[in-house]
Structure 1
Amino acid sequence: MKSEPDEVSIDDALAAPGKIVPWVGVRNYQARNFMRDAMRVGDGVLFYHSSCAEPGIAGLAEVASTAYPDPTQFDSGSKYYDPKSTPDNPRWMLVDVRATHKTRLLSLPELRSLPDLAEMQILKRGNRLSITPVSAFEWRCIIQHIQ
């Protein structure tokens, strides 16, 4: 799961009450579908800092809730407001994420240098999704490299 550190960093998540942050602002249908349809409470999360000086995996977290409507879609003062979305028919969902710990930064160049991750979706050219699935094999490979 990608987050811009000026919006929510791993440090912010670790400092939040219960170390839990709602993953607001996802406005891509495919990323929303990953959250809504595939994520389960307890699933591991690679907390990835994006759009910053050094993008990469900065920590680990876990899914802390089932998907529910993102309240920012209904707030006309929010940059995530969606006038086509209604409480009766919400378009955008979120999950709560519980940060477990900060890791050493596993940078994007380092991720790209690992042959075992060559097919990882987040590393594919043109990938702009903020949420992508990670295989069990990719997870184990990353965990080995951040410890």
Structure 2
Amino acid sequence: MNYWFMKSEPDDVSIDDLAKRQDQTVGWYGVRNYQARNFMRDEMQLGDRVFFYHSSCKEPGIAGLAEVCSHAYPDPTQFDANSEYFDSKSTQEAPRWLQVDVRFVQKTRLLSLSELRGYPELAEMLLLKKGSRLSITPVSAIDAAFILAKLC
């Protein structure tokens, strides 16, 4: 099993929104970075764990846990001319952007970005690297175990 940080703006989809959905799943749409797309396409597996991370908000941080529950498939927002995620260069025959579905596991206490930065054990984590802006990043098993212990 792999672990991932997946960033979502809580004004769009929060951990609470995910928990309230009838099937408690959501397609992780709107990813428009090739490296993040490639993580979904090439490395994510069914059952991988997700640290559901609230970003672009007053207090960013891990707000809950989810799991990957689908293989990567074309993100439909790339074809919708009315979507902010529309990509005129993407076609049904050759889609450029993918998404996976994630399923709610549990809401946790907020483990804030500032708290994460305060742990020297996590200093090498990609999320905490200066200039790292990817919406999806892998988390090592050692870092995941450390974070899970702090969430409990």
Same fold at TM > 0.5 = yes
TM range (shorter): over 0.9
Unaligned runs of 5+ in 2: 1-5
Deviant stretches of 4+, over 4 Å:
none
Q: Does 1:98 align with 2:103?
A: yes
For 2:116, the equivalent position in structure 1 comes to: 111
1:15, distance to aligned residue in structure 2 (A):
0.9
- Alignment partners' CA distance in 2, 1:46 and 1:77: 30
Aligned with 1:52: secondary structure? coil
* Equivalent-residue separation in structure 1 for 2:79 and 2:130 (angstroms): 33
Q: Which residue of 2 aligns with 1:137?
A: 142
Question: Does 2:102 match 1:70?
Answer: no
SS at match of 2:17: helix
- Write the letter of the residue equivalent to 1:122: L
- TM-score, normalised to structure 2, is 0.96
Aligned to 1:35: 40
Alignment length, in residue pairs? Answer: 147
CA distance in structure 2 between the partners assigned to 1:120 and 1:99 by the alignment: 24
Normalization by structure 1: what TM-score?
0.99
Shift of 1:115: 1.4
Once residues 80 and 109 of structure 1 are traced to their aligned partners in structure 2, the CA distance between those partners, rounded to angstroms, is: 30
Residue 21 (str. 1) matches residue 26 (str. 2): yes
- Structure 1, unmatched stretches of 5+, are none
Offset at residue 17 of structure 1 (A):
2.1
Which position in structure 1 is the counterpart of 2:10?
5
Q: Which has the higher strand share?
A: 2
Quote the Cα distance in structure 2 between the aligned partners of 1:67 and 1:20: 14
Q: Percent of counterpart pairs with the same letter?
A: 66
The AA in structure 2 aligned to 1:53 is K
Which amino acid counterpart does residue 12 of structure 1 have in structure 2? Answer: D
- Cα drift, residue 135 of structure 1: 0.5
Q: Following TM superposition, by how much is the alpha carbon of 1:120 offset from its aligned partner in structure 2, in angstroms? A: 0.4
Are 2:39 and 1:46 aligned? no
Aligned-residue offset at 1:18: 1.4
